[in-house]
Amino acid sequence: GAGVSQSPSNKVTEKGKDVELRCDPISGHTALYWYRQSLGQGLEFLIYFQGNSAPDKSGLPSDRFSAERTGGSVSTLTIQRTQQEDSAVYLCASSLAGGATNEKLFFGSGTQLSVL
């Protein structure tokens, strides 16, 4: 597609349920990032994909969080047994290669997750 697409745009769930967030990056972009943005806060790095592999998962807050990417394209971020502190906007971004110093990131509009 023309831009990074994220779905759903809004998700309301009950505490303890699992949720799956989807990111469809720009076609041809090998690098994919997940960030979390809590209300009034900056961007918290979660995970980085280069192709289908994730060389850096260091930002995932706990083992309840996991992510995968298939076919070098779509990525899903899964949060198991959601907690209220997981409520945030989850942002996905992609870039052409990842390693270039001056490379621009393209962001999706995010998924607003609310855990009741």
Partner 1 sequence: GNSVTQMEGPVTLSEEAFLTINCTYTATGYPSLFWYVQYPGEGLQLLLKATKADDKGSNKGFEATYRKETTSFHLEKGSVQVSDSAVYFCASKGSNYQLIWGAGTKLIIKP
Instruction: Please give the residue ranges that form the binding site for partner 1 (CB under 8 A).
Output: 4, 31, 33, 40-43, 45, 48, 50, 56, 91, 93, 98-99, 101-105, 107-110
Q: How far apart are CA 99 and CA 84, in angstroms?
A: 35
Residue with smaller CB distance to partner 1, 35 or 65: 35
Looking at the Cβ atoms of 18 and 45, the one nearer to partner 1 is 45
Nearest Cα neighbor of 26 from 102, 109, 93 is 93
> Are 36 and 85 contacting, i.e. CB atoms less than 8 angstroms apart?
no
114 neighbors 14 (Cβ within 8 angstroms): no
* In the complex, minimum distance from the CB of residue 11 to partner 1, in angstroms, rounded to a whole number: 17
Which residue's CB is nearer to partner 1, number 64 or number 106? 106
CB of 2 to partner 1, least distance (A): 13
Q: Collect all residues with Cβ–Cβ distance below 8 Å to 74 and sequence separation of at least 6.
A: 22, 23, 24, 25
Q: Which residues contact 42 (CB under 8 A, 6 or more apart)?
A: none
**Shortest Cβ distance from residue 43 to partner 1 (Å)?**
5
Supply the minimum distance, in Å, between the C-beta of residue 108 and partner 1. 6
Nearer of residues 86 and 110 to partner 1, judged by Cβ: 110
